[in-house]
Copies of this chain bind each other. A is one copy, B any other.
């Protein structure tokens, strides 16, 4: 029997930011898969989607280890694949929930690859990206006219970070909690610190919006923090 596998973007956090397509797929699913890490009690994607999950749907929390020893990782993934294929072979509609959008920095892509040759139909449903939610929250354009917008994990090496800051008009920096002080220094050098805004836990409890990054000093930065910035028209860099 042919099942259907849905990869569903649940968006950045607010349950009202799911698309109607995502909501409909969740409502018709026989099984809802919520990926989680070993560390957390409940899947974040699951708590966002909860208002739409029907009583009759089975909820399956699967752990997809990403930072673990190779053998454990491999065993867990093989078992997860087997579990999902058994459900699909039984003709079930299986919905896999993912934060934001399924195609952007998501574990879902690995699951997609495990299943794409299985013969079952796969339907991917896009979601609102967290940086879009932040831009809309602040009323700050992500890009206009002929602007280049780059989405950059702040964990890349220094030389690449400098090159991408130099060529972009607008930058979204993800995962900035690890090396925040260095990031601010680099933004300053490239005329991008004046317009920078950092948002932590956007739309969630404990949301913080920080406009003056240089004043933040060495205060600890939350894990769910993103910086949006654009080049200043007259930057310190240009004046130097």
User: CB within 8 Å of B: which residues of A?
Assistant: 7, 9, 11-12, 14-21, 23-24, 101-106, 109, 112, 116, 122, 124-129, 132-133, 135-137, 139-153, 155-156, 160, 163-164, 166-168
Could you say which of B23, B125, B141, B156 contacts A20, with CB atoms under 8 Å apart? B23
CB<8 Å pairs between A and B, sample of 21: A7-B136, A9-B136, A16-B20, A16-B24, A17-B126, A18-B20, A19-B20, A19-B128, A101-B132, A103-B141, A104-B135, A104-B141, A105-B147, A116-B139, A126-B128, A126-B135, A148-B152, A148-B156, A151-B151, A160-B167, A163-B166
Could you say which of B7, B141, B151 contacts A148, with CB atoms under 8 Å apart? B151
| Given contact pairs A129-B129, A143-B151, A148-B151, A103 touches B136 in the complex (Cβ within 8 A) | yes
Decide if A109 touches B153 in the complex (CB within 8 Å).
Answer: no
Decide if B153 touches A151 in the complex (CB within 8 Å).
Answer: no
Decide if A126 touches B116 in the complex (CB within 8 Å).
Answer: no
A222 to B127, CA, bound (A): 26
For residue A154, give the distance in angstroms from its CB to the closest CB of chain B.
10
With A106-B141, A112-B139 already in contact, 19 other A-B pairs whose C-beta atoms are closer than 8 Å: A14-B21, A16-B19, A18-B19, A20-B20, A102-B136, A104-B141, A104-B142, A105-B147, A106-B144, A109-B144, A124-B136, A124-B137, A126-B128, A128-B128, A145-B153, A147-B153, A150-B164, A160-B167, A163-B166
Decide if B150 touches A149 in the complex (CB within 8 Å).
Answer: yes
Decide if A163 touches B167 in the complex (CB within 8 Å).
Answer: yes
Decide if A105 touches B20 in the complex (CB within 8 Å).
Answer: no
Could you say which of B23, B125, B148, B155 contacts A160, with CB atoms under 8 Å apart? B148
A128 to B12, CA, bound (A): 11
